[in-house]
Amino acid sequence: MTFWADRPQTIAVIPDAFIFLTSGMNLALSLGWYYNSVSSHFQFAWFVGIIIGALLSAGLTQILIKRYFVLLSSFLVVVAGILYTACPYESTVLLVARYLNGIGTGLITVPFIVHCSEISATAKRGFTLGLEQLCVALGIFIQVTYIALWDINNSVSPTRVHGIFCLGFGLGALGLAYLVIESPVYYVRQANDAEALNSLTCLQLPTILTEEKKLLLQVHKDYVTMNEYIGRGDSFINGLGPLLRMIFYRGLLAFTFSLPYSMQLYFSTAMGVSNDSQWTSPFYAAIRILGVLAAISMFDIIGRKLIGLIGLLVMGGLGIGIAVIFAYMENWVQENPMRLACVLLLVFQLFAGLYAPTTTVYLGEAFPMIVKPYFVALCVCVECTVHIVVICTFTFNLHEIYVFNTFTYALVFACFLLFLFTIPETKLTTLNDAQERFRAWIHIKFM
């Protein structure tokens, strides 16, 4: 057997990975990791852009081939990068750049989840879909690290550096768009079996037509036939139950990396470690990468559900500790409580990294084919809306932090109990089987 026979499936999403790197950088920029003060409009503009892009792409995903989305998204990321680089001090221009990068991210997120779930082998689907959150985490690390280590005497604007990174990653995605291999499901829906078979041939080594690939074509045809037989109306009804659960599941992602936690890390580092300490911020981002890597390496071995639930449960426990420390003003000025809060926030990111990629995997598996782009877009929009609400309402004071921390750990524990019984394990299932499992409400298996 050819070593890593499914590697063309991973190579096919490399252009998306470059775009998601810029997404991680802009996410961090929105949530407190900037050098010069910015307006709340600057912070939430990127999320508004994602909502616009996601809604636009939902209706086009089943009409346009994936390469068009990569090209358009890459172009918007490049333009945004040019604006960041050329005009780092012009607030209006920077707002335009934020919106453009957000729209580019939204335009690629929905097609990526739909396309990746369709081209991935059953035994590698968790790993491939999880690459989205891995690249986002890497982008967060880049932004957080250079901001944390920024020298005040540096004559170059940190915003310009941000733009150079975005421009480079955008050009990389644009130049590598030829790597995209279209989904066989797309061609089956177009009644073009020859192109569907060609896609399947390219997606698995060796790139020759085999009986196994002919059987895979029949699997994809069965998937399309079953979903089209159900029809749009029944698909909508069947998808409502999974949609309700996935709105909470993806929406909870907004609380794993948020503005209040970023500000609490800043404060606890200054008060508990050192005013001049710079290592906590890069470590905060790096440990999230470690969590994501651990998760995606285990998805297709021990499953998605157990990993996600472990991440949720530990996040809830750590959230209680963080909330208790920040609930008392006297702790704010004492070194030991703040040092403990800093440690808890760092460990929190490890388990947030475990949870984060499960949200993308489940979005790719939960919904019937006909309504999948629309329901995925809705879940992404809810996640962005949570970020916008937090940015617009949060201020760093005792009451606001108490409310946010208490709400967060209570929500995490409530969702843990909800998902414990209502989220299925979808390891080694076809897309048909996965969506059938999501139709049922009660699931007690963890592996």
The answer to whether residue 1 scores a pLDDT higher than 60 is no
**What was the pLDDT predicted at 96?**
97
Quick one: what percent of the chain has pLDDT higher than 90? 85
Would you list the DSSP string of 327-373? TSHHHHT-HHHHHHHHHHHHHHHHHHHHHHHHHHHHHHHSS-TTTHH
Residue 24 lies in a domain: yes
Assign 2 a pLDDT band (cuts: 50, 70, 90).
Answer: very low
Residue 4 confidence class, pLDDT cut points 50, 70, 90: low
**Residue 358 tokens, joined:** 């499960």
Which tokens sit at 138?
């890497």
User: Is 445 a domain residue?
Assistant: no
The angle at the Cα of 165, spanning 160 to 171, to the nearest 5 degrees, equals 120
353, 287, 341, 334: CA torsion to nearest 10: -160
Looking at residue 349, its pLDDT comes to 97
In a domain, 444, yes or no: no
At 154 the pLDDT is 82
Indicate whether 446 belongs to any domain. Answer: no
* 1 part of a folded domain: no
The pair of structure tokens assigned to 96 is 């335009």
Residue 265, pLDDT above cutoff 70: yes
Query: Which among 44, 293, 16 is positioned nearest to 179, based on CA atoms?
Result: 16
Per-residue pLDDT, averaged over 237-249, amounts to: 96
- Number of folded domains in the chain? 1
| pLDDT at position 57 over 90 | yes
Could you give the CA distance from residue 88 to residue 333 in angstroms, rounded to a whole number?
Answer: 36
Q: Is the pLDDT of residue 224 over 60?
A: yes
Q: What is the pLDDT of the chain when averaged over all its residues? A: 93
Preceding omega of 206 cis (within 30 degrees of 0): yes
Please, are residues 379 and 243 in contact by the beta-carbon 8 Å criterion?
A: yes
Residue 212 within any structural domain of the chain: yes
CA angle, 217 as apex, 212 and 222 as ends, to 5°? 125
The answer to the question of residue 303 being in a domain is yes
Is the pLDDT at 332 greater than 90, yes or no? yes
Model confidence at 276, pLDDT cuts 50, 70, 90, reads low
Q: Do residues 436 and 225 touch, judged by C-beta distance below 8 A?
A: no
Using CB atoms within 10 A of its CB, is residue 68 exposed (0-12), middle (13-18) or buried (19+)?
Answer: middle
Only one residue has tokens 């590598």, namely 176
353's tokens: 């990294």
Residue 308 lies in a domain: yes
Residue pLDDT, tens place only, 84-124: 999 999 999 999 999 999 999 999 999 999 999 999 999 99
Residue 277's pLDDT is what? 65
Report the alpha-carbon distance of residue 123 to residue 358 in Å, rounded.
15
Q: Where does the pLDDT of residue 365 fall: very low under 50, low under 70, confident under 90, or very high at 90 and above?
A: very high
Mean pLDDT of 237-263: 96
204 or 369, which is more confident = 369
Res. 237: pLDDT tops 90: yes
Distances (CA, A) of 406 to 126, 316, 318, 358, 411: 32, 10, 12, 24, 8
pLDDT digits (tens, 9 = 90+) for 287-308: 999 999 999 999 999 999 999 9
Give dist(CA 61, CA 57) in Å, integer.
6
* SS3 state at 21: helix
Q: Does residue 243 sit in helix, strand or coil?
A: helix
- Compute the distance between CA of residue 63 and CA of residue 57 in angstroms, rounded to an integer: 10
- Say if CB 285 and CB 144 are below 8 A apart: yes
| pLDDT at residue 279, as a whole number | 85
For position 147, which CATH number holds?
1.20.1250.20
Per the model's pLDDT, the better-predicted residue between 152 and 315 turns out to be 315
Q: Which backbone phi and psi does 23 adopt, to 5 degrees?
A: -65, -45
The arithmetic mean of pLDDT across residues 303-328, rounded, is 96
Tokens coding 309: 């639930």
Distance CA 393, CA 388 (A): 9
Does the pLDDT value for residue 137 go beyond 80? yes
Give me the mean pLDDT over the 190-218 stretch.
87
∠ Cα 40 46 49 (to 5°): 130
Q: φ and ψ at 85, to 5 degrees?
A: -75, -40
Q: What is the pLDDT of residue 84?
A: 96
The pLDDT score that the predictor gives to residue 446 is 63
For residues 19 and 14, give the distance between their C-alpha atoms in angstroms, rounded to a whole number. Answer: 9
Residues 383 and 264: their CA atoms lie apart, in Å, by 21
Cα distance between residue 259 and residue 281, in whole Å: 13
pLDDT at 302: 93
In angstroms, the first-to-last Cα distance of the chain is 27
Q: Which domain holds residue 348?
A: 7-439
